[in-house]
């Protein structure tokens, strides 16, 4: 009797095991929506998953990464500016933030900030030589070039085609989320209006029959590309196929950096107008007011040391 029971047990055992394995495989498979695009990736890691199910669209690999190069320098409002930017960028899928400090070394404040920013970040630094730190001279030349060099270096050994879009995002501007949807489809170089710049409510490329034919601006209309740094994006392909295109110190005047750079990589005829044929303002050249620290004590008086 005992050996009969044992025989039956041995006969059933493999089947029981098979059922257990099949059930286990099925439950370890992730639910389908998790496969849809969700952003994240890059060096900075974790991005919180969206609450609602993302729409079914092209696989994640097909969505070009947006690289935002942000020059930044130490001043009382720096952390506030970076916080505002991070709160915007965190909501953009596949955005890689390249923060370039105007400093001889990475600061603790920015390093800590980057670590907790919650989006993919690369933290670089390069100091502006003292002789260029004067009013009337262009700003952030070395920092934008450092960002460009990092991008070229990173993609140098990867096979084409490499999809990506580069955008210069100064730390004091205001960016709508719609702007990133617009620039994401940049084929070579795309352009759009910028609010609160050039002494007017906005500047914009003038578009006829889908082509840029001129510039609406109140300041130095003779500029070949009368556009602010926040008014254009460049595809990674163009950046890689023009390895010598950089921002130049020599002979460069403020307000001409954009033109000097753009003329190395494109022509006005080639520009791709975005934002409904350049009729919508999706980015603002908001400049932060200099903070009043008149009552700040000369020596540290508080009982604690606080990062602002
Ligand atoms: C305008 C343009 O919008 C800028 O893109 C351009 O670089 C600048 O003029 C210029 O004259 O070169 P504006 O608001 O006057 O901008 O300049 P800032 O916002 O003060 O500086 C542009 C970027 O460079 C910012 O991201 C800022 O943090 C950074 N910066 C500024 C530095 O890294 N170091 C500095 O010493 C000053
Ligand atoms: Mn600015």
Q: 17 CA distance to ligand 1 centroid (A)?
A: 66
Cα of 270 vs its chain's centroid, Å: 23
Ligand of minimum distance to the alpha carbon of 229: 1
Mean pLDDT, rounded, of the chain:
87
Cα Rg of the chain (Å, integer)? 26
pLDDT at 157: 81
pLDDT at 162: 84
The residue among 159, 126, 163, 84 whose CA lies nearest residue 247 is 126
Q: Is 222 annotated as a binding residue?
A: no
Q: 229 CA distance to ligand 2 centroid (A)?
A: 9
pLDDT at 62: 81
Q: What is the DSSP string of 220-268?
A: -TT-TT---GGGEEEEHHHHHH-TT-----TT--TT-HHHHHHHHH--G
Mean per-residue pLDDT for 104-117?
98
Q: How confident is the model at residue 294 (pLDDT cuts 50, 70, 90)?
A: very high
Q: 220 CA distance to ligand 2 centroid (A)?
A: 18
Through-space distance between the first and last CA atoms of the chain, rounded to whole angstroms: 81
pLDDT over 80 (residue 201): yes
Tokens describing residue 154: 């990173």
Task: Return the active site residues.
Answer: 258
- DSSP label of 133: -
pLDDT in tens, 54-85: 555 555 568 999 999 999 999 999 999 999 99
pLDDT in tens, 226-257: 999 999 999 999 999 999 999 999 877 778 99
Mean per-residue pLDDT for 172-193?
98
The residue among 189, 154, 160 whose CA lies nearest residue 265 is 189
Please report the atom of ligand 1 found closest to the CA of residue 172: 19
Q: Is 285 annotated as a binding residue?
A: yes
pLDDT at 60: 57
Percent of the chain with pLDDT over 70: 80
Contact 79, 307 (CB under 8 A): yes
Distance CA 281, CA 80 (A): 23
List Cβ neighbours of 143 (8 Å cut-off, separation of 6 or more): 69, 71, 72, 100, 101, 102, 124, 126, 128
Please report the atom of ligand 1 found closest to the CA of residue 72: 28
Please report the atom of ligand 1 found closest to the CA of residue 138: 12
Query: Is the whole-model pTM more than 0.85?
Result: no
pLDDT in tens, 255-272: 899 999 999 999 999 999
Sign of CA dihedral 138, 142, 143, 149: positive
What residues does the ion ligand 2 have nearby, CB within 5 Å? 170, 172
Please report the atom of ligand 1 found closest to the CA of residue 287: 14
Mean per-residue pLDDT for 38-65?
52
| Strand pairing class (200-208; 211-216) | antiparallel
Sign of CA dihedral 217, 181, 186, 87: positive
pLDDT in tens, 123-154: 999 999 999 999 989 999 999 999 999 999 99
pLDDT over 90 (residue 45): no
Q: Is 287 annotated as a binding residue?
A: yes
Q: For ligand 1, atom 6, which residue shows the shortest CA distance?
A: 139
Ligand of minimum distance to the alpha carbon of 136: 1
Distance CA 23, CA 247 (A): 60
Percent of the chain with pLDDT over 90: 75
Identify the residues whose C-beta falls under 6 Å from ligand 1: 70-73, 102, 128, 133, 138-140, 143, 170-172, 228-229, 254, 257, 285, 287
Distance CA 125, CA 38 (A): 30
Q: Is 102 annotated as a binding residue?
A: yes
Burial of 280 (0-12, 13-18, 19+ CB in 10 A): middle
pLDDT over 70 (residue 207): yes
Q: What is the DSSP string of 136-182?
A: TS-SSHHHHHHHHHHHHHHHTTSPSP--EEEEE--TT-EE-HHHHHH
Count CB-CB contacts under 10 A for residue 195: 21
Q: Classify the phi-psi angles of 223: left when phi > 0, otherwise alpha if psi is within -120 to 50, otherwise beta.
A: beta
């Amino acid at each position: 009797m005992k050996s009969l029971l044992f025989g039956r047990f041995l006969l059933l055992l493999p089947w029981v095991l098979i059922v257990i394995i099949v059930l286990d495989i099925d439950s370890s498979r992730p639910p389908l929506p998790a496969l849809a695009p969700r952003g994240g990736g890059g060096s900075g890691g974790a991005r919180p998953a969206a609450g609602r199910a993302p729409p079914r669209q092209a696989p994640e690999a097909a969505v070009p990464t947006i690289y935002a190069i942000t020059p930044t320098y130490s001043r009382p409002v720096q952390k506030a500016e970076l916080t505002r930017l991070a709160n915007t960028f965190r909501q953009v899928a596949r955005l890689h933030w390249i923060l370039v400090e105007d400093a001889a070394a990475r600061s603790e404040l920015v390093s800590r900030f980057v670590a907790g920013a919650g989006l993919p970040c690369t933290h670089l630094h390069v100091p502006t030589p003292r002789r260029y730190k004067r009013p009337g001279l262009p700003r952030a030349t070395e920092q934008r070039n450092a960002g460009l060099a990092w991008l070229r270096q990173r993609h140098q050994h990867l096979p084409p085609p490499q999809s990506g879009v580069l955008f210069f995002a100064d730390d004091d501007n205001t960016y709508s989320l719609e702007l990133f949807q617009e620039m994401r489809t940049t084929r070579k170089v795309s352009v759009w209006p910028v609010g609160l710049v050039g002494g007017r409510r906005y500047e914009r490329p003038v578009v006829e029959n889908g082509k840029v034919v001129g510039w609406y601006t109140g300041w130095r209309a003779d500029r070949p590309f009368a556009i602010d740094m926040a008014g254009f994006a460049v595809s990674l392909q163009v950046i890689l196929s023009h390895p010598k295109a950089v921002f130049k110190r020599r002979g460069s005047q403020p307000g001409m950096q954009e033109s000097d750079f753009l003329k190395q990589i494109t022509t006005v005829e080639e520009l791709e107008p975005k934002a409904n044929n350049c009729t919508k303002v999706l980015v603002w050249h908001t400049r932060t007011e200099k903070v009043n620290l008149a009552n700040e004590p000369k020596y540290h008086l508080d009982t604690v040391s606080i990062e602002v």
